[in-house]
Amino acid sequence: MTGIPFPDISPEAFSVTVFGFHLALRWYALAYIVGILIGWRISVAALKRPHLWAGGTSPMTPPQLEALLTWIIIGIIAGGRLGYVLLYRPVHYLQHPWEIPALWEGGMAFHGGLIGVLLAITIFSWREGLPLGGVADAIALASPPAILLGRIANFINAELWGRPTSLPWGVTFPGEAAQDCPGVVGTCFRHPSQLYEAGLEGLLLGVLLIVLAFRGGALRRPWLLTGTFLLGYGVSRFLVEFVRQPDAQFVSPGNPLGLALHWNGWGLTMGQTLTIPLLLAGVLLILWARRPRLVRA
């Protein structure tokens, strides 16, 4: 088997030692900071073009979007962490509750972060009297850059790698766990599933949303862009799960594929199972946005 050696990239973008304390900015944190800033500028560009939106009016002003970003960041952190705690390691954190705030040790769930963002958008829109559909579409448009850079950071961290593969672009991820591949003799090469997700959920979906928003008139139909985002992310994540290594807590001798749902000999991983509601919500929102509208005489 041949593949690609894992690149020698430190998880820390840069670090300093101050009074004996090691302070570092990791690529993972930097990825989300830069991704949110890029997404913010894309949404601002759309908000400054009222003709793109329903009724020729933007759903909020750029300053309101800036205020909403604070809510969204809190939603991402709180929702992502609690989602990981409840969905992935509830027993562990029930026994060690003091570890829940330890974000620096890792452990975030996209689905939990998404719920946190949706709650933040809903509460903010209600407080400010803003149209929820338009606000949600603006945030959906801004989301892919953070996903793209976040998945690249996952690759740099050598985490969330894929299943073993003999394809020429398989990567030799470091660590005993990554090299523990039953039935594989010698070096174990794995799918760089983080990069698959970066390309599908981040780059491809991001380009699609930008084209729909600025050229396709999607923003004139509230919820259409949000539904497209949910459906696009759901399809991408569902497909990548076929080659992504399940999280360790879902793998056991009796469940080596980390399956969460079984029927008639078929099974879905936990990632695919959690993605089903996103797929359904995406389809329903698209249908709702494209429903025939009554025209009053």
Binding residues: 151
Q: Closest Cα partner for 57 from 191, 220, 185?
A: 220
Tokens of 273: 């199972």
Phi first, then psi, for residue 4 (nearest 5°) are -110, 130
Phi first, then psi, for residue 42 (nearest 5°) are -65, -45
The answer to whether 278 and 240 are in contact (CB under 8 A) is no
- Dist CA 31 CA 39 (whole Å): 12
Q: Which long-range contacts (CB under 8 A, 24 or more apart) does 53-57 make?
A: 53/134, 53/219, 53/220, 54/134, 54/219, 54/220, 54/221, 54/222
Tokens of 122: 């809903």
CA 205, distance to chain mean position in Å, is 12
